[in-house]
Chains A and B, each alone.
Chain A
Amino acid sequence: MSRAVELLIGTRKGAFILDGEPSRRSWSIRGPFCEGFSIHDVSYDRSDGAILAGGGSPWFGPAVWRSDDLGSTWTHSSAGLTYGDAGPSLTKVWNLTAAAGTVYAGVEPAGLFRSEDGGRTWTHVEGLRAHPSRPEWQAGNGGLICHTIIADPADAAHLWVGISSVGVFETRDGGATWSTRNQGVRADFYPGPAPEFGQCVHKLALAAGGSSTLYQQNHCGVYRSDDAGSTWTEITPGLPSDFGFPIGVHPRDPGTAWVMPLNGADKGRFAPDAKPAVWRTRDRGASWTRLDRGLPPRDGYISVLREAMAVDDLEPAGVYVGTSTGQLYGSADEGETWTVVAENLPPIASVDVAIVER
């Protein structure tokens, strides 16, 4: 047995796995898996070593795929992934998050499901869609999607979710009741002061070492919360744009996070000036550093979607970004330098990374 680094890639045309070593210098590609399905998230469940892939097919609907042998063989299921015969019809799985033996699925139209058997059967967490705001939820450009689920490692009943064009919600009772958590977050597409909900969260991340510091890349800026999401402080200044999709956090340092700004919501949504860069803060968002060594120096009309940034927990941490045009870039030194990991994959929706024994 030796330690291996597995990059788990969701694309519009199935899932791929890139096998690497802790040096993170070379990679070999396996796949496609889950063929015929657009895969929005591929996750590793540390509790049992399973790889889980979630997505949907225009013909066959939503599915969660599971592999117990690091991708060699797969099964699929959507048992219980339904809002019932009254609908609405569930179309896609957007996020899979494993925590303490439970797997959560965020789906479209926005809702949350829970599995206690590793994704084989699912139960609707009805409390989220029972929130009084739900009749007013509106779809954003990417759909009405529950795309982020964060489980508090210290409290299995404590979760946050992010829903596009609706905002952040928090539960402390295992999903029975939820509270909006958008105070301090701009919603420039609404007239007047920011509403209680309707903010367009693009991605949330929980900082290392606690249950109170969260980072958020929003449609309208980048934010940090020091009180578990109750209030947010904007940390956009220093970045070239307030618009982007993913946000990654350091596995050990709660003050370090990475974003990949795009040129703007009302522009082309690609790298500013077509010069791609990842930006990193080391001081909780007080300042940002441009990191572009190894990324295309010019003519880089690329974008990175919300699930397509990952950070490993090696020392130093590795950072990975996948583009919507099929390039995968990796850094083994926390973003200082980048190399091409793969350059001809289908459009990439998600990147995750797992350290495993093979």
Chain B
Amino acid sequence: MAEVLLSRALLALFPGVPRPVAVEATSVRELIEALDRIAPGIADRLTTAGPSIREHINVFVDGDLAGLDTPVQPGSTVHVIPAVSGGA
């Protein structure tokens, strides 16, 4: 199992999802599919046409910026964080 830490903004959109949440996955793609089974609709918030991870969403696997095909190991820690953005 990998341990996923969703950002506060994502937890606000999907209340009830624990932090961290444990999922079974061998890639980021599978991890997002697994998250979507726990929180229906979250895949639409994280990915777009391509499919690809949304431009302003960053997924880090064990601290490294990841793509959909990045492997996820048992025991990995995965952060899902919106990119920083300025302005008002």
Contacts and interface: CB of A to CB of B under 8 A. Distances in A.
A82 B46 CA distance: 14
29 contacts: A36-B12, A36-B13, A58-B56, A59-B9, A59-B54, A59-B56, A59-B57, A59-B83, A59-B85, A60-B46, A60-B54, A60-B57, A61-B44, A61-B45, A61-B54, A76-B41, A77-B41, A77-B44, A78-B44, A78-B45, A81-B44, A82-B44, A83-B49, A84-B49, A86-B49, A87-B49, A87-B50, A88-B49, A89-B50
Nearest to B9: A36
B41 A82 contact: no
B13 A60 contact: yes
Interface of B: 9, 12-13, 41, 44-46, 48-51, 54, 56-57, 82-83, 85
A82 B49 contact: yes
Contacts of B82: 59-60
Nearest to B41: A77
A87 B52 CA distance: 11
Given A58-B85, A78-B41, 19 more contacts: A36-B9, A36-B12, A58-B56, A59-B9, A59-B56, A59-B82, A59-B85, A60-B13, A60-B46, A61-B44, A61-B54, A76-B13, A76-B41, A77-B44, A79-B44, A87-B49, A87-B50, A89-B49, A90-B48
A264 B25 CA distance: 56
Contacts of A87: 49-50
Interface string A64-92: 00000000000011110111111111100
A-B pairs with the 4 shortest C-beta distances?
A: A87-B49, A59-B82, A60-B45, A89-B49
A72 to B, nearest CB: 15
A89 B48 contact: yes
A73 B27 CA distance: 35
